């Protein structure tokens, strides 16, 4: 794990043995895989120091060198703050993981109109702590889906996490309740997903769609109601992926009226129960479990801490 400190607006990282011989450009572009444009911005705006001095970005680093990066400057949020008491699963100077409730959008479609989203609540939370940041989500959850969702507090963390998501280095585990009893206790649904040309917000399995892979494992069966509780994890993150895939194999999510799931619950039975990743700047292993927060409870007899 990288040794780091915060000093005011500056993030300090101590060069470890494995970075020796790399230069600053290598750290940003090869180790962190930050975008070229963002790296250039840090360089041209003199937002990086080496041992408290303006650095030569091409000079090899030495174990124990102190890299200072201006990460914590005050910036205004892109949406107005709105108070909502949203549970927090993890937070530090770089990122925050919320346990999103049902019936809350991840972000506004129209900043002037939509003021009750998770982004509005996140901005309020930070301002209440005296932090003014342009926070943004790294991935999304549907409005009616609950559970763990990751936000980045500054552009460098956001860029690294975006790349990690692209490389499938952020593991998201979901719990779903599907209609019917599945013929197999575990499996993989590998079907491309595209837009449904007959419905503006709906998706469907389509030969011309984007590649999509969903793994699943049966946790328990409710034979009386003919429902199956499944654990799902994704190799891709397409819009409505779990909902589309299970509908496609004839087992739509319970409560998912859009995809034929029937009115078992007041929303589709889908919860982002676990989030796992390596911290983008410290290297620490982060595991967040998201307890169920529905009232009345939808997912009964499932312990998210055992996933």
CA distances from 178 to 187, 255, 268 (A): 14, 9, 9
194 strand-pairing partners:
204
Domain termination residue (choose one: 51, 70, 89): 70
The answer to the question of residue 258 being in a domain is: yes
Roughly what angle, to the nearest 10 degrees, separates helices 155-166 and 36-44?
160
Does 21 reside within a domain?
yes
Above 80 in pLDDT, residue 76? no
Q: Per residue in 254-288, pLDDT tens?
A: 999 999 998 889 999 999 999 999 999 999 999 99
At 157, give phi and psi (nearest 5°): -60, -40
Q: Which of 54, 70, 86 is the last residue of a domain?
A: 70
Q: How many CA atoms lie within 13 A of 36 on its CB side?
A: 0
CATH number at residue 25: 3.10.290.10
Assess contact for 203 and 194: CB atoms under 8 A. Answer: yes
**Residues whose CB is less than 8 angstroms from the CB of residue 194 and which lie 6 or more positions away in sequence, other chains included:** 203, 204, 205, 206, 208, 209, 210
CA 231, CA 95: separation in Å to the nearest integer? 26
**With bands split at pLDDT 50, 70 and 90, how would you rate the model's confidence at 109?**
confident
Interval 130-187: pLDDT, tens = 998 889 999 999 999 999 999 999 999 999 999 999 999 999 999 999 999 999 999 9
Q: What is the CATH number of the domain that holds 186?
A: 3.30.2350.10
Question: Is residue 302, in this structure, part of any structural domain at all?
Answer: no
Stated pTM of the model: 0.94
Task: Identify whether 301 is part of a domain.
Answer: no
User: What sign does the CA torsion over 147, 152, 157, 160 have?
Assistant: positive
- Of 7, 4, 35, nearest to 161 by C-alpha is 35
Residue range(s) defining the domain that contains residue 225: 172-271
Using a pLDDT cut of 70, give the percent of the chain over it. 100
Does 77 have pLDDT greater than 80? no
**Dist. CA 261–CA 210, nearest whole Å:** 23
- Please list the active-site residues: 142
**Residue 235 burial (10 A CB sphere; 0-12, 13-18, 19+):** middle
Domains of the chain: total: 2
Asked whether residue 99 is assigned to any structural domain, the reply reads no
Is 205 a member of any domain? yes
Question: Does some domain include residue 242?
Answer: yes
Q: Residue 86 — very low, low, confident or very high, per pLDDT cuts 50/70/90?
A: very high
pLDDT, averaged across the chain? 95
Q: Within a domain: residue 121?
A: no
């Amino acid at each position: 794990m990288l040794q780091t400190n915060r000093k005011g607006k500056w993030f300090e990282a101590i060069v470890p043995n494995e970075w020796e011989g790399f230069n600053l450009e290598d750290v940003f572009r090869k180790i962190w895989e930050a975008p070229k444009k963002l790296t250039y911005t840090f360089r041209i705006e003199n937002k990086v120091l080496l041992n408290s001095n303006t650095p030569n970005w091409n000079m090899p680093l030495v174990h124990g060198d102190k890299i200072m990066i201006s990460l914590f400057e005050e910036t205004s949020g892109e949406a107005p703050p709105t108070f909502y008491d949203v549970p927090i699963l993890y937070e530090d100077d770089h990122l925050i993981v919320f346990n999103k409730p049902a019936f809350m959008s991840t972000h506004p479609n129209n900043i002037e109109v939509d003021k009750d989203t998770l982004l509005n609540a996140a901005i309020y939370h930070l301002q209440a702590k005296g932090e003014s940041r342009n926070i943004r989500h790294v991935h999304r959850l549907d409005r009616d889906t609950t559970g763990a969702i990751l936000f980045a507090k500054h552009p460098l963390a956001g860029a690294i996490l975006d790349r990690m998501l692209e490389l499938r280095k952020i593991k998201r585990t979901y719990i779903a309740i599907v209609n019917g009893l599945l013929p197999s206790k575990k499996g993989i649904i590998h079907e491309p997903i595209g837009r449904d040309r007959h419905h503006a917000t709906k998706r469907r399995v389509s030969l011309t769609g984007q590649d999509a892979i969903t793994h699943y494992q049966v946790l328990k069966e409710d034979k009386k109601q003919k429902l199956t509780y499944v654990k799902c994890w994704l190799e891709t993150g397409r819009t409505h992926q779990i909902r589309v895939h299970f509908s496609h194999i004839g087992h739509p999510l319970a409560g998912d009226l859009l995809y034929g799931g029937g009115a078992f619950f007041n929303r589709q039975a889908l919860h982002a129960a676990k989030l796992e990743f390596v911290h983008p700047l410290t290297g620490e292993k982060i595991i967040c479990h998201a307890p169920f927060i529905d009232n009345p409870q939808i997912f009964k007899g499932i312990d998210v801490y055992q996933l």
